[in-house]
Amino acid sequence: MDNKPLFHFSLPGMDFNEDYEEPDAISSPPRPSSPPPIDTPPNEFLQTICDPNSAILEDTSDDDAEFVIHEKRAPPMKIDEKVWGTLVHMRAAYSRLSIAEFLNGLFTSEDSELKKASGQFYAGSAHLNEMELWWNACGGETDQAMADWVMEKAAAICAREASHLTDRAFDGPHFEDAKALRLPATKISVKAVDEFQVKALGSVYDRVTPNLQRILRAVTTPPPGSEAKRNREFGRTMITSMALNLRSQKTNYHQAIMSLIFWDNRLPKRIVQMLNEFGISSSHAYQIKGIKALSKSVQDLARAAANDIAKIKMLPYDNFNWMSRAWETSATHKSQSHDQVAALLVILPTPDGTDAKTVTSIAQFKEKRSSGRHSIPPRQALAEIIPSRTDEAILRLPPNDPICALHLIVPQSMWLVYELLVVC
DNA sequence: GGCGGAGCACCTCAAATCTG
DNA sequence: CAGATTTGAGGTGCTCCGCC
């Protein structure tokens, strides 16, 4: 029978004697009272460590007490020496037990004492240190087998995070966050659109998917010295939204808003469908339902504002000649720049010290007329109706500023336009 | 089992292209 | 050049399927 040991090790100047005879496993040798020197020949060393008949261990002469008192204490053993001694013992006592088998036995055993020992090992997070050592010793990311193992575990961690927001949201720790990431087409409203912020969404992802974000940051952060002008946070947020949407189409908050943006910019249906496949946008059908819901939400707001006695309303209805690039948004025309007859509901701010009822009171105008409103000198009257310097400054706003178009309709000398709702 | 998103077929309409 | 035909895009309704 081949009794060749399963492992072989050596230190400088030392090696095992192949002719060494293995002692009985049940008679483990006692620990030597002093460390064996590294460069001791193997036979002597093994005798020192393992031989119960060793001269050191057998020294039971009457001089013991004197020896303990007068002998200088042996210097502490180095780690190498202790490890070496342990390996020697293992080989001597259990020549067929490999280190891998030993570790497996220690960490998978059901024996209470062994579990206690392995638990102490975990308690100090020593296993993380060992894993770091093994990672470096094997070549880190250049070792394919090691990288495969690590990535498999990392993928499982990221999948678990995603699961807590999608298929296992109900049972997970982020149920409320998962609900906030779902936006049914029929629930799209002005409030939902107004509240959407990529930055805020990114913060939510940082909180509920920290490990996935760690990986995305590592991948998307450019190397030092290269181009760094772009803000990667928005892209990482989009990537996360895409990943979650591809896992579950119910997680669609970002995609829903994207589909509205695409609709507003007249992106063709087939492109929307393509981007839906990619997980960037909701489907075309969702777009249509969403716009319907959004239009209803806008109308509800307009009705509420129109019936609010605390607001000052103005309802211009005319053929508006929109300035170039002054976009009008409506449910039926998307964003267009055109001239057309339209009705606008304009909510004007209430001046300080008064209220809507007083400002819009007919009696107020009658009072002004009766007090000689038309008796002021013509020159003064003209000065009051022509644009002031402030008016002119506002009228010189950039042509693509929609406020500019509004000021053409509502003279600045009256009130600033506070809110505009388009009634479709 | 209900809800909601996606897929699909089908419709309408307008622009582009063909044909006599 | 005018009418016919084709093409392509937007929109709708039904069905399937995943999630809760």
Query: Inter-axis angle of helices A232-247 and A144-163, to 10 degrees?
Result: 80
Whether CB of A166 is under 7 Å from strand B: the answer is no
Q: What is the pLDDT of residues A276-286, one digit of tens each?
A: 777 788 877 77
Band (A36; pLDDT cuts 50, 70, 90): very low
Cα separation values, A253 from A216, A266, A276, A287, Å: 20, 20, 13, 13
| Closest protein CA to C1' of nucleotide B4, residue | A184
What CA–CA distance (Å, rounded) separates A365 from A311?
19
Whether CB of A17 is under 7 Å from strand B: the answer is no
Separation between the CA of A288 and the C1’ of C10 (whole angstroms): 10
Residue A106 CB neighbour total at 10 angstroms: 14
**A169 nearest nucleotide via C1' and CA:** C20
Which of A130-134, A226-230, A339-343 reaches the highest mean pLDDT?
Answer: A130-134
Separation between the CA of A193 and the C1’ of C19 (whole angstroms): 25
List bases, strand C, within 7 Å of protein CB. Answer: 9-14, 18-20
Residue A9, pLDDT score: 37
Structure tokens at A173: 């720790």
Give yes or no for residue A88 having a pLDDT over 80. yes
Separation between the CA of A258 and the C1’ of C11 (whole angstroms): 20
User: Do the Cβ atoms of A88 and A45 come closer than 8 Å?
Assistant: yes
List bases, strand B, within 7 Å of protein CB. Answer: 3-8
Give yes or no for residue A419 having a pLDDT over 60. no
Separation between the CA of A384 and the C1’ of B6 (whole angstroms): 61
Residue A262, pLDDT score: 77
Separation between the CA of A274 and the C1’ of C11 (whole angstroms): 18
**A283 nearest nucleotide via C1' and CA:** B6
Whether CB of A179 is under 7 Å from strand B: the answer is no
Separation between the CA of A130 and the C1’ of C11 (whole angstroms): 63
Separation between the CA of A150 and the C1’ of B5 (whole angstroms): 35
How much is the average pLDDT of A139-166?
Answer: 86
Separation between the CA of A286 and the C1’ of C9 (whole angstroms): 17
**Alpha-carbon torsion A164, A166, A170, A176, what sign?**
positive
Say which residue the tokens 């057998």 belong to: A58
Give yes or no for residue A231 having a pLDDT over 60. yes
Residue A225: left if φ>0, alpha if ψ -120 to 50, beta else—which one?
left
Q: What is the pLDDT of residues A99-119, one digit of tens each?
A: 888 888 888 888 888 888 888
Whether CB of A350 is under 7 Å from strand B: the answer is no
Give yes or no for residue A385 having a pLDDT over 60. yes
**A175 nearest nucleotide via C1' and CA:** C20
**A259 nearest nucleotide via C1' and CA:** B5
Cα separation values, A95 from A80, A360, A373, A381, Å: 20, 102, 116, 113
How much is the average pLDDT of A374-393?
Answer: 71
Whether CB of A247 is under 7 Å from strand B: the answer is no
| Closest protein CA to C1' of nucleotide C17, residue | A249
Structure tokens at A307: 């019936």
Whether CB of A118 is under 7 Å from strand B: the answer is no
Domain range summary for chain A, segments of one domain joined by +: 164-220+231-294, 308-422
Separation between the CA of A285 and the C1’ of C14 (whole angstroms): 13
Residue A324, pLDDT score: 40
Separation between the CA of A269 and the C1’ of C10 (whole angstroms): 7
Q: What is the pLDDT of residues A291-349, one digit of tens each?
A: 777 777 777 888 888 888 888 888 876 655 444 444 444 444 444 444 455 667 788 88
